[in-house]
Amino acid sequence: MTLTRRDFAKLGTLTLAAGFAPLLHAQPSAKKTGYAVIGLGRIAGHFMPGARNTTNSQITALVSGHRDKADRIAAEYGIPSSSIYNYENFDEIAHNPAVDAVYVALPNSMHAEYTIRAAKAGKHVLCEKPMSTNVADAEAMIAACKAANVKLMIAYRCHYEPTNLRAVKLIRDGALGQVQAIESSFGFNMGPNEWRTNKKLAGGGPLFDVGIYCLNACRYLTGEEPEHIAAFASTIDHDGRFSEVEENVSWTMKFPSGIVASCNTTYGAPMEGYYRVHGAKGWLEVDQAFVYEGLRLRADFSGTQLDEPNPARDPSQFQAEAEHFSHCVQNNLEPQSPGEEGLRDMGYITQIYRSAGIAI
């Protein structure tokens, strides 16, 4: 299926309403949800300890092209050698009763293939963001999971993170009055020879990787979907890193209420992940809003001043998302960041690139 702008708006309203309902706290369960981790790179190195810290999740299988690395991790997590797969024999996972779900931690362009293969194997899917590299793949992922009657959740950590949830609640409760504007940014200075600068693997530049946090945050902070988007992109450093993807993207979004958001992302400079929300009664900001630890909420509204550092340490955010998805799997509940949430962002990323004159 191909969704129209009106279809996207309907999806967005539903997912925003679901995504920031009060979180269901998982209770200890007799059976833990078993995860096969697909791809053993950096992000998997955060997820696996997080899942191990839960009461309802465990790592029961690994999928990797590097057997020696998989063997080392399997020994750490008590995974038998029979539950180590490569990308060629991955479909055999269908016959492993210890695996209830998969965690897709692969480069962006591989998300669709392994989500669809996992669904056909009868396994639930927790897929890293960005969901895919285009809208068509995102739609196919959702369709495959629905056809197989398995759950699909996109790993938007911030939807389950207390400081971000606190910011949303303050705004929804009217603490800032009518919100007028939002600023958000996230970026870093990309090193050479990273897969993220390979367009075939990544889909695009920093917008796919870290700018998506700003995009998604503006949506959950406003509780609205943007009506108008305008964007610019540039490459300043012609040193070989950005021969396939852009270095910088800046964009603005206007929401139905009139709120205007201004966002920036880069691979060319350290750019702290943050957002600042301006309302009629005051302001609110979250520093380090999109990273694994060190978040801090500050606000000043109606004579009230807040300064709330979050002491939680990595891998607490991964623990929270694993705990939530396992709870949904065990109780047949819809995740609070389902595939439709990822599809929404893919649609907006497409609009941003088109506005900036970049083919996607």
Rounded to 10 degrees, the C-alpha dihedral 270/207/106/290 comes to 50
CB-based contact 337:159 (threshold 8 Å) = yes
Tell how far CA 5 is from the center of its chain: 22
CB-based contact 47:105 (threshold 8 Å) = yes
Measure the CA–CA gap between 162 and 49, rounded to whole angstroms. 19
**10 catalytic per annotation:** no
Name the region of 149 (left: φ>0; alpha: ψ -120 to 50; beta: rest): left
Residues belonging to the chain: 360
Measure the CA–CA gap between 60 and 104, rounded to whole angstroms. 14
Measure the CA–CA gap between 314 and 64, rounded to whole angstroms. 24
Residue 249: both structure tokens together: 């993207």
DSSP 338: B
Q: How many CB atoms lie within 10 A of CB 62?
A: 25
Q: Identity (one letter) of the amino acid at 131?
A: M
**Of 245, 258, 177, which is closest to residue 210 (Cα–Cα)?**
245
Strand-pair partners of 307: 298
DSSP 209: I
Residue 59, classed as helix, strand or coil, is strand
Measure the CA–CA gap between 316 and 46, rounded to whole angstroms. 9
Tell how far CA 270 is from the center of its chain: 20
Measure the CA–CA gap between 276 and 297, rounded to whole angstroms. 10
Catalytic member of 114, 213, 274, 348:
213
**Of 60, 23, 353, which is closest to residue 199 (Cα–Cα)?**
353
Catalytic member of 32, 35, 103, 129:
129
* CA–CA–CA angle 167, 50, 336 (5° rounding): 45
Positions marked active-site: 129, 213
